Each structure stands twice: as structure tokens, then as C-alpha cells.
Amino acid sequence: MNRNYTEEQIARANETNLVAFMKSQGERLVKSGHEFRWQSHDSLTVRENKWYRHSQSKGGNPIDFVMEFYGKSFPEAVKMLTGEEGEGRQEAVPAPSPDFRLPERAKTNTRIKEYLTKERGIEPELIETFLRLGDVYEEKVHGNVIFVGRDEDGIPRYAHARGIKEKYRQDISGSDKKYGFCHRGEDDQLFVFEAPIDLLSFICLFPKDWIRRNYLSIGGVAGKALRQFLSGRPAITKVFLCLDNDEAGNTACSRLAEEISEEISVIRLLPVRKDWNEILMNKAAIKDGSYIKETVILRDEEKIPMIQLSKVEIKPVEWLWFPYIPSGKMTIIQGNPGEGKTFLAMMIVAACTNRKYLPNMQAREPCNVIYQTAEDGLADTIVPRLEMVGADLNHVLTIDDAGKALTLNDGRLEKAIRQNKAKLLILDPVQAFLGANVDMNRANEVRPIFRHLGEIAERTRCAIVLIGHLNKASGTQSTYRGLGSIDLTAVVRSLLFVGKVKKDPNTRVIVQEKSSLAPPGVSLAFTLDEETGFQWIGEYDITADELLAGVEGRCTEKKVETAEKLIYDMLADGKRVANNDMVKAAEKIGISDRTLRDAKRNIGARLQSEKEGNQWVFWLEDISSGKEKGKWQDFIDTPGCHFAG
């Protein structure tokens, strides 16, 4: 992968519809069943974003196609498909030596084509592929074959000349031996050769899916080019050393194996003749088609620790606040500045420290909470607000990071949770704790940090709540409105949005957009103003996208009874109904998904559910005592709980 393009850009390029792309390039396609045939290459068919060349039994994705048939480098192919410049981080790359110049090209490649095909047995189509890439060409003065070695950015840094009339071979002056003639594929295998012609011969002998693999000529038996290639392709897990079958080749294989990282498997493929071109030229004489004399495992890959799932002890999900905040997991609360995220966090603190219970929250003993903030002062903002909502400040702690800024990778987080037996950690806002050197928009930097934070939550059974701001990209789906990489929202088990209601700025709504461990909870509304402070209103019918778009929601009381009747009718006589079917039936009679959830909660304990495959299934339990009260009603009946209005 070229470093100047992000994973998202490369994925978009490979999602390109090849039929539409080829037509935009003026190519003539003929419909053939569900596929299209390319008139210029009648053995090639395309379908959606895949292509296949039947004559060579190979195919691939759009990037492979553009590189193969339009002669583009990897970054050029991505740009051609997406029309975008690379968004990835530009890395400082030293310029080629001023003494290095590629030899002048001849006007045609006629002489080297004849040499490579007739005298070396290389397939003409394979030669054409590398000619289009510019990695093989004919030198103007002497007619030598020039093999070009490029770096990861496609810049030529090495060239090797091979005579076609006499046994002449020489590296071009100024060449950097760290960059050999090669083909960079997408999979995790690398095949290493002494010379470019052996590399091409091997592909001819084993052509299936060759374009996906990685091939490298190291220009002899030294390891400089191999080490450089592996440093730029960290995904490679297996290296096949395909050096010549002679003393120098065998000795070099043993040495190179020691230079390769221990995490990579190293396998020696010993050719049945001296080298792979000799096999190609004489393959008709090799009756059984066994071109490999011996396969020697020089170093096997490291044994990966595995967990046998039958030995895993099943543990039920524990909840700090069902179904909004699971214990031992991460939850994110997102919203625009000043719309109530911090006040909601403080209400959660009050519930955990002083039994100021939230809707649907089970009674629990007061516990310690770590509240870490980077935006508000403790003395003038945090403490007064916590006192206002009734939190017990004896149970609220914060890590003193005056001497050293706290980050998500900081070992103090887990130590503080364990030492204080905290059941809740709040980071407000999460962006402030990523660290100075972390780009929150780069998935490869954000992902390991949040995986580590999730492991802390799992080990300590502490609920970790992250407070996050929204970006300004209006019109996009709610899941993509969080600042930074989408990985930030993908890694959490619960995603809550807090926003103002358009018609009444004092009314705020909590919407659960994501719930990985239980059916999503109902939307909850509260008021927040200077006179009355924080007060719960009740359930509210609105989606996250509607809330963020400024669409006015509505109270759910009038349609809930209709939704309850629908549920009872659908689940009558012991029927089990998938949630998707229930939602579709509700939509037909004008009942929203949110209202349907309200009705489910009102039905209470009699409504049972479990996950089957990828969806939830509901049924009614036969309770002789009659319909039980839902948890929301239980909350209303709890002493000390008050609702506004």
C-alpha cells in the first residue's frame, strides 16, 4: 500500500464499478450473461468491481486492473479511479543519488521482446505488463534490457542492464542496491530471486494469481534490498527464498533467513535445475511438472496463542445503567458544545455516588467514580455542578495530572481504577486525552489506543464513559458526526447522542444510536435551564439523525398504546417474531421505531427477547399474575425521583 493514500481511499478505489469506469475510458464492452467482455481482450470479463482474465487464470480488483492494463503505478491507479490526491501522511524520502540516471530509452522495445520471449521463454503478455509499467524497457545505445527498481512511492532508484547479444550484466551507475526490480502485490507472501529474469521465469511457471503476490530481485545474494522491501511491507508474514540451486545460493539463503524478522516464516524453494529460467527453457523435458526439487522450512512462523471457545466461561453482561452504559465496556456520549453532555455525565455521577437514580437504573450501592476533565475548572464549575445534582463528592475523584498530562495510554488510568475500586471513569472530552502526537483522524493511530482502553475496562469491570464533541459536517449520518476516525465510535459498545430540541432549546434529548449488548433504549428528554436546573421530562420520539438535523420530535404517549396492541397481536398464541418484522409492521400503521421501543418497555417483564443470529427475537412469557410494570414505571415509583411537568 502506498503511504500517501489512506486505507479509506484505497477501499473506495477498489469499490469502483469497473464496467462504468471502462466505459468512461472509451473501452468497448459486450454484454455476456451477467458479465461484460472487453473487445480489446476477449478473454477478459468484468462484473461490478471484479475482473478476470480467463487465458491466464488471474484476476483482481480495480486497482490491479488499472496497474495491469493502463500501466499505472499503485498511487497513479488510486488517483485514476478516485480522482483524489493522497490524504495520508507524507513521509520524508531521500532523493535519488544525483549520479543516478536511467539510461535513455529506445523508440521501440522490439529487440528485447524478441530476446526475452525467444531466448528466455518469457510469456509475451507478462513482458507487456512490465513494459507498460516502465519497469522493463530497451536501452537506446546498446539495445540492452533495462530492469528498473522503484521505491514505495514509485520513484526509480535502481536499474540493471542485461545484454541481449552477449553475457553482459551491470548495475547502472548511481543505483541504490536497496531497491531491486520487483512487483508489489497485496497479499502477505514475498518471493525472492537473485536476478530479474529468474523472477519473470518463476511467474511464468506459477502464473495463478501472481499479480496479488510480491516478487523481488535482490541483484545477487546480498540482503540490502530484501530488508528495505520488508520494511515497507509490514503485512508480509511469509518469505520464499528462490535463489539459485548452487553453493552461493544455498549459503545466502541460510544467511538471509537470519536477517529476516523472527515474526516472518522463511521457506527455501530449491529449483530442480540451477535456476528458474533454466527450468522454464527446459520445462518440456520435466515430465512430471515438478519444478521445485525441495521445500525447506528455514524458520516457521511463530505459533499464535489460541483460545478454545468451549473452555471460555460465559459471563452475563453487567450494567451501570441498562441499556445505556454497560460495566466493563466503553460508552461514548456525543453532542455539540453546551447541549448538556457534561450535565448528563454529572447526573450519572450522582446516580452512582448518591442513589440519584436514572430512568430504568437498578438500585445499587454508592461507588467511587473518577471524573477527568480537561475543559472545565474543578473549583468553579465541576464541584458546584456536582453538588447541584446531588452527587456525593466523597466518592468522586480525579487524577492529579498537574505535573504530567494524562493520556489514554497512561498507566495511571488502570492503577487509579484499581486502587480506588472505581466503577465508573469519565473522560471529558476524550479528544483532549489522545496525546499530542496522535492524529485522531487516522484509524491506524486511534484503533490501538481505544483497544487498550477497552481492555482496561474489561479487566477492571469499570464502565468507561467518553464525552465527545461533534464535527461540523451537517447532512451526514449521525454515526459519522463524531470528531476523528470512525474507529472511535466503532470500538464503543454504546453510543449516545445529546442534543437540543429545535422548538424548545431548554429541552434536551438523549438518543441511543448504537447498542451492541442489548436492544437500544428509548430516547429520554430532560430540561436544563438556570431556574430549575436539571429535570427529567420522560420518553421522547426522535432519532439521532432527526435530532442532529433539527427535526422536531414528539412525546410518545398517544401512540404507545397502539404500539402495545400491535405487539400483543403479533405475539399472540406463543408466536416468536423477529424485531425487523415487528418494526416493518409498525411502520405500516405510522408507528416509529422509537415508539415501538417505548411500548416494549411498557409491557415489561412479560416481553422476553434473545438474539438469534444477527437480530433480536421477541415473545410473550405466560405470567399468571398478569402484566407486570415496566422498569420505567418502577423508576417513577422510586422514592425521591421527580419529573418535571
pLDDT at 387: 93
Quote the cell numbers at residue 190.
514475498
Q: Are 177 and 171 in contact (CB under 8 A)?
A: yes
pLDDT at 460: 96
The whole model's pTM is what? 0.45
Whether the per-residue pLDDT at 617 is higher than 60: the answer is yes
> What does the pLDDT average to over 36-61?
82
Non-local CB neighbours of 177 within 8 Å, separated by 6+ positions = 158, 171, 219, 222, 224, 225
The pLDDT tens digits for 168-201 are 889 998 999 999 999 999 899 999 999 999 999 9
pLDDT class of 635 with cuts at 50, 70, 90 = very low
Nearest-angstrom CA–CA distance, 519 and 596: 12
Residue 549, phi then psi, degrees to nearest 5: -85, -5
Q: Are 360 and 322 in contact (CB under 8 A)?
A: yes
Nearest-angstrom CA–CA distance, 88 and 4: 4
CB pairs under 8 A, 24+ apart, for 610-619?
612/578, 615/578, 615/579, 615/580, 616/519, 616/578, 616/579, 617/576, 617/577, 617/578, 617/579, 618/567, 618/571, 618/576, 618/577, 618/578, 618/579, 618/582, 619/571, 619/574, 619/575, 619/576, 619/577
Residue 640, phi then psi, degrees to nearest 5: 90, -5
pLDDT at 548: 73
Whether the per-residue pLDDT at 576 is higher than 70: the answer is yes
Q: Are 375 and 381 in contact (CB under 8 A)?
A: no
Q: Are 562 and 541 in contact (CB under 8 A)?
A: no
> What does the pLDDT average to over 488-496?
84
pLDDT at 302: 61
Sign of the Cα pseudo-torsion (629, 634, 635, 636, in order) = positive
Nearest-angstrom CA–CA distance, 423 and 111: 76
Whether the per-residue pLDDT at 624 is higher than 60: the answer is no
Containing 59, the helix (H) or strand (E) segment is strand 58-60
Nearest-angstrom CA–CA distance, 224 and 177: 7
pLDDT at 61: 85
Q: Are 147 and 181 in contact (CB under 8 A)?
A: yes
- The three-point CA angle 505-430-508 to 5° equals 15
Containing 559, the helix (H) or strand (E) segment is helix 557-570
